[in-house]
Structure 1
Amino acid sequence: MSNIEAELKLRLADPSCQSSLLTAPLLRELATQLPCKQTLATTYYDTADRRLLKSRLSYRLRSAAGEWTATVKADGTSDGGLHQRFEYNVPVKSPQPSIEPFLLTDIGDRLAEAAGDRPLEPVFSTCFERSTMEIITPDGSNIELALDAGNILAGDKQQEILELELELQAGQPQALIWLGTALATQFPLLPEQDSKLYRATVLAGLADSLAQDIPLPSPLTKASAVLPAPRALSEIMIHTIHKTISAQQAYLANPDDREVLHNFRMVLCKLHSLLQFAEPLMPPEEYTDWQNKLSTWNRKLGRLRDLDEFSLTWDQLTGYMLRVIPNYSGKPVLTEIIAAKRKDAKNNFHTAVATGELTPVLLGLWSFLLNWAASGNNQVLCKRFVYLRFGHWLTSLLQQGNELDLSDLAAIHELRIDGRRLRYTLEALAPVLPDSSRLLVRRLEQLQDILGEIRDVAFTPPLLQELVKASSSRLSHRDAGLITGWQLAKSAAAQPQWDKTWAKLNKAVTKQKKLKPLADGSDEAARQSN
């Protein structure tokens, strides 16, 4: 009658793939029977003042093949498209909503307290065709695969449903991620963070009554310091994958919001940084594979970041010229060229994300991390590994900074990347680090800012060569000279701040009594620390 439901939801980005998905060779190999189709009509009920929704409860009546089932769901989490919640199902004889069949279940008291003696009324509904098949994965887990195609209905509004649900019937939750990964390598699938219920509340204008499924907090605590390092690091990386998937969904909903795009890029960089941090403990071939895949996506996002920064800088320059040269009448040719370049890059990136190209990377890494953590090949304690690894990274960073030539823009870029990687990892692993590491995080952020001011000029020449080459106007050469000069002036103005910023960072490092740089600059001790 009741159980904890665990399912992975994946949105199908291309409706034309429905039939080919259900007949995929992988599913034919794993399925215990042919797909079964049925039409499901569901109505969700609540009190007039939405007491159930406000109590994080839902009540629905579903009709399938002439039979009725009443369902109550409670609470729930959603991380990376993996939804888990309490579910109670009771066969009923008529489509009359009543909480009475649930009063003797575990949820009965809570349901009665929320609804009281108030009558239940329809709020919204769904109607979709469901194609199901039972899957037995290689590890013996039993999964119900359901492909739903139909609509959510709320008054005169409706929203399409086209999603794949992989629900665990028996076995290990990682089997869901394995199967999702395998299907995402063949079909355009996107992890779906929102349940049908939540999407219905948004459509009905009731989202304030029911918050989205609560994402789980960071799994790391002070107690994580004594866990095996692979287990603790895999947990925080999987948590970051969940945040990346959430950021991806936010980006797809708001592709023109620069802040949303920045957050997407930032959380993907954090995932990449954590993977690099764990490298000494990982199988070399698997590490290299995932490292290369994440690097590819970071380069794509980095390209967008550089174009955005260049566009903002050009806007600042043209605004400045209009203020200081009132009679300036030359039309800035680069404005339209930059806008077109940025639009093309944004469209190409959006298409890649919207068609699910990143999904097999994120789900595949998630699956790998689950297996890596369970392998038990390395039992070094998290605290010991983390301290040794940070010692190596700090040693390398100090050497780079002490030897930095401010005329070497490539070296500046490398130091900025390494400083950002260190900062992101310190932030993620904060629960197992001394409190003094917070100051180091702030100093690293200041380092990143000052190096960004100096380094951004390096992006200008190659981009200008592309833009000017594509323009037939001589004025584009004038504009190229203007922005080159502007960028060089900004870089020159930032350079005097370098010594002060670097001195503060060095001082912050000396305060890390536990995260001491290694004398030889090697992390071999971290590799052999078990």
Structure 2
Amino acid sequence: MDKTVEMEMKLTIARKDLKKLLASELIMAKTIKGSLAKQELLTTYYDTESYKLTEAGMAYRIRRNGKKYEATIKTEQSSGGGLSARREFNIPLKKDAPLLSGFAELGLEADLEELLAGEELQKLFTVEVKREVRLLQVTPATVLEMAIDQGKISAGKQKEKIDEVELELKEGTKADLLDFTAQVAAKIPVFIEPRSKFARGLHLLGNGEEHELPKGRLKIDRGGMVQDELGKLLEYYGDRILKLQNRLLLDKTMLVQADKLLLPQFRHLQALLALIKPLLAEGEYDKMRKLLAEPAGTLNVLFRYKRLLQQWQLLQGTAGSSFLQRPQLAEKLTEEIENILVEVDKQLQQGVYSHCIFKLLAWTEQSLWQNSYYVEVEQLAGCRIEDWYNMLKELDIKGDKIDEAQAQSILRICEVIYYARRSLKIDRLSKTVWKDVKELYQRIQILVYDVYSSKCLLNCVKGNNSRALYRDGGLLLGWRLQALQSANAKALKAYSKLLEDLKK
């Protein structure tokens, strides 16, 4: 492990839950005897008036701990899944004043004098925290430092509260750090804090941006080894879920969009797992698929009810003004949607997404995918496209109808191809075939969700005493069945065209 690299997990935990965690066997049994300490830290961050260090991807700070002073330079970080890794260079100081010499000897490659070009360092903001720290022996090989910080960031008249927990890797492996974080998340709700104290301070000064999701998609090396490159993608989509979780918790008005925001991220993860399935040991794929099932399943039910409500509203618009006097089914569907949103919010509050993603990322680091370091991403993708093509052929659809079971199978295969292609930009799919996949995916969704899948609708009317509700449910069910022939014909046409073009 490179001693200049700081690798840490930054978390937020409610005080009542943190108290419960600290009293648990998970912490008590792993705390190294005599390691518990309390500190009062005052940290001042510096840069030039034109932010030369920040522009170069560096942060300069002086920290006072008791009567001791230490200058630190941190380089630009890489982060994902709540985990950050930065190079850190520390030198002791005799007094509270910035010093530029001594960092090169520690391995800092930048020439600070040349970089600053004569500009002086000046104070940006301060961070005051009371820190409780302990060392945890989480495995025989891995030691983590658990730091609980409470305090504030002060930038002029602007202030922001600090209340966070850091798990820093002192010795051992990233896999153990992730696995321990997953164990913590299984006991209490935990959430990531994706911003460093430096980034938060810059934002208070008006020189930083609020943390947003990364634009575009992660670019990977399709000629690279499978476990390296696909591991990056699993971390990337896991990180997006954790950040979206934070956003939804902060802004409850966005909760109604939970399926729209989160389902695509879970589908990307599910597609990547399906892609690597042949490389996994027996039972591994099913274990990870099951892990994703709870949060993804709830979001999928929300998606289905919202789609059903949209269909009913479309039928109302088609039928004319008489339907406006019959709100029972719309009200019932809206009620069901609200109930599901309560469940989604409950999962968010309980940290279900955090536990799921940390466990997935820990597994990604710990598991050994068979022959993964001998197989390139593009090679695997080509083989899997062939597998999925054969699965489509084996459905053996005859006549002019795709039955419900076949439609469900096509949907699963198309979904995997669609999201795997969006993640990897698989070269084995020509523009024509990719267009065919998207067309079939759209048509088969209509067939599955808007024609065949009536479980949500039946659940709405089942056990209800309202004749009007049964009447409207029957009307919507009849309208869906009336659309069967047309939807089936379009899906069958798209299916046949994709198979034909895949042969080429």
TM-score of the alignment, normalized to the shorter chain, above 0.5: yes
The answer for the alignment partner of 1:186 in structure 2 is: 187
How is 1:96-245 mapped onto 2 (pairs within 5 angstroms)? 96-97=97-98, 99=100, 102=103, 107=108, 109=110, 111-113=112-114, 115-208=116-209, 218=218, 220-224=220-224, 227=225, 233-245=230-242
Q: What are structure 2's unaligned runs of at least 5 residues?
A: none
Distance 2:182 2:435 in 1: 37
Q: Percent identity?
A: 22
Residue by residue, what CA displacement relative to the aligned partner does 1:385-432 show, whole Å, maximum 9, x if unpaired? 5444432221112232734874633432332122111222344344xx
Secondary structure, counterpart of 1:183 in structure 2:
helix
The answer for the alignment partner of 1:262 in structure 2 is: 260
Distance 1:401 1:113 in 2: 70
The answer for the alignment partner of 2:280 in structure 1 is: 282
What amino acid does structure 1 have at the position aligned with 2:473?
A
The answer for the alignment partner of 2:502 in structure 1 is: 509
Length, aligned pairs only = 500
Q: CA deviation at 1:342?
A: 1.5
What amino acid does structure 1 have at the position aligned with 2:197?
K
What amino acid does structure 2 have at the position aligned with 1:55?
A
Distance 2:363 2:92 in 1: 40
Residue by residue, what CA displacement relative to the aligned partner does 1:427-447 show, whole Å, maximum 9, x if unpaired? 4344xx535455433322211
Distance 2:136 2:260 in 1: 39
Matched, 1:359 2:354: yes
Distance 1:126 1:24 in 2: 30
Structure 1 residues 157 and 493, CA gap change in structure 2 (3 angstroms): farther
Matched, 1:381 2:363: no
Match of 2:392 among 379, 390, 397: 397
Task: Name the TM-score, length of structure 1 as normaliser.
Answer: 0.81
The answer for the alignment partner of 1:21 in structure 2 is: 21
Distance 1:231 1:55 in 2: 28
The answer for the alignment partner of 2:304 in structure 1 is: 306
Structure 1 residues 35 and 223, CA gap change in structure 2 (3 angstroms): same
Distance 2:324 2:182 in 1: 56
Distance 1:122 1:479 in 2: 68
Of stretches 43-52 and 337-346 in structure 1, the one that deviates more from structure 2 is: 43-52
Structure 1 residues 155 and 400, CA gap change in structure 2 (3 angstroms): farther
CA contact (8 A) 2:134 2:145 kept: yes
Distance 2:40 2:213 in 1: 26
Structure 1 residues 395 and 146, CA gap change in structure 2 (3 angstroms): same
CA contact (8 A) 1:254 1:260 kept: no
What amino acid does structure 1 have at the position aligned with 2:391?
S
CA contact (8 A) 2:400 2:492 kept: no
What is the root-mean-square deviation in Å for CA atoms of aligned residues?
A: 3.6
Q: CA deviation at 1:505?
A: 0.8
Q: CA deviation at 1:65?
A: 2.1
Q: What are structure 1's unaligned runs of at least 5 residues?
A: 512-530
Q: CA deviation at 1:378?
A: 7.2
Residue by residue, what CA displacement relative to the aligned partner does 1:432-471 show, whole Å, maximum 9, x if unpaired? x535455433322211111112222357743334434587
Structure 1 residues 112 and 405, CA gap change in structure 2 (3 angstroms): farther
The answer for the alignment partner of 1:527 in structure 2 is: none
Matched, 1:344 2:344: no
How is 1:443-482 mapped onto 2 (pairs within 5 angstroms)? 443-458=436-451, 461-468=454-461, 475-482=468-475
Of stretches 485-494 and 436-445 in structure 1, the one that deviates more from structure 2 is: 485-494
Task: Name the TM-score, length of structure 2 as normaliser.
Answer: 0.85
Structure 1 residues 499 and 261, CA gap change in structure 2 (3 angstroms): closer
What amino acid does structure 1 have at the position aligned with 2:460?
L
The answer for the alignment partner of 1:409 in structure 2 is: 404
Structure 1 residues 155 and 249, CA gap change in structure 2 (3 angstroms): same
Distance 1:103 1:248 in 2: 40
Of stretches 341-350 and 20-29 in structure 1, the one that deviates more from structure 2 is: 20-29
The answer for the alignment partner of 1:434 in structure 2 is: 427
Structure 1 residues 253 and 53, CA gap change in structure 2 (3 angstroms): farther
